[in-house]
Structure 1
């Protein structure tokens, strides 16, 4: 009689392997971001905010603080550093509720510097993705999106105490 494999144990090992791989990815991306920041004279949190602005902006400082999960007072210091570094501009928001309303924009003339720093990783990712079918890429993208949502939820629970 043939032995029946222990599916639950194997599945637990597979899940553990995925979690370990995600932890390794987190560490490696943190290292990449730190190196990028060192080359561009950006702190990790500054780079995160700049990336959020580039992807979702322009935003008000309070909207950026909410998106980044940061206190508004912390955001002021970050925006001061980004503006001094020539990465962003703060402009009066013509649609704002009052004359003090501001929106923050990324300065497009500085983005090629970031793109150059990320070109090695982007090239490697393009080559990696070429190895997968459209269906596999859809599965991977869906997994990463749901993983991001899980991280967002866990972050919110930690923030709530």
Structure 2
């Protein structure tokens, strides 16, 4: 149980503030790079997780596939990505980030400031933080939630598939 001063309401408010701060920071980074917020989100996924198909990127960003096509065209025209045929399925393409160093430069100053904060944390503090981030990400993951909602609607809530 969470102690009263750290109740779920206080944690939710802190999380919302962090979301707002991160969104504002990302808008500033996107503006400095001359790209849109949605473009920056796609670059973040590609730089963090590697090549993806347009369909996966659209699903991951909750973007219509036609809109994703426009995002990818802008990024390709600006030299941020390249489209390559999928080695396993020649009918499909995979989107590759081409400017990882350029992307990392966008975040270098803020990453240095955050690294300085993290370096002051005890190991256990860092473990708890990583665990909390994983829990929060899983709770917000549309795939996880749609699976649970589907089981709930069909009366299978709580049963393993």
Give the TM-score category using the shorter length. Answer: 0.7 to 0.9
Question: Structure with the greater relative contact order (CA < 8 A, sep ≥ 6): 1 or 2?
Answer: 1
1:124 corresponds to which of 101, 113, 128: 113
The corresponding residue for 1:38 is 31
5+ residue gaps, structure 2, are 151-161
The corresponding residue for 2:10 is 17
Pairwise CA distance, 1:117: 2.3
Note the alpha carbon deviations across 1:16-71, whole angstroms, 9 max, x for none.
22111111111110011000000111111110011111112211111222222222
The corresponding residue for 2:103 is 114
TM-score between the two structures when normalised by the length of structure 1: 0.81
Secondary structure at the aligned position of 1:96 is classed as coil
Q: Is the 8 A contact 2:138 2:144 kept in 1?
A: no
1:148 corresponds to which of 125, 137, 140: 137
The corresponding residue for 1:105 is 96
The corresponding residue for 1:4 is none
5+ residue gaps, structure 1, are 1-6
The corresponding residue for 1:90 is 83
Structure 1 moving runs of 4+ over 6 Å? none
Note the alpha carbon deviations across 1:59-98, whole angstroms, 9 max, x for none.
1111222222222111111101110111000112232153
The structure having more radius of gyration, on CA atoms, is 1
Secondary structure at the aligned position of 1:59 is classed as coil
The corresponding residue for 1:54 is 47
Secondary structure at the aligned position of 2:83 is classed as strand
Residue correspondences, number: 147
CA distance in 1 between partners of 2:27 and 2:145 (Å): 24
Q: Is the 8 A contact 1:52 1:68 kept in 2?
A: no
Coordinate RMSD, CA, aligned: 2.4
Find out whether 1:64 has 2:46 as its counterpart. Answer: no
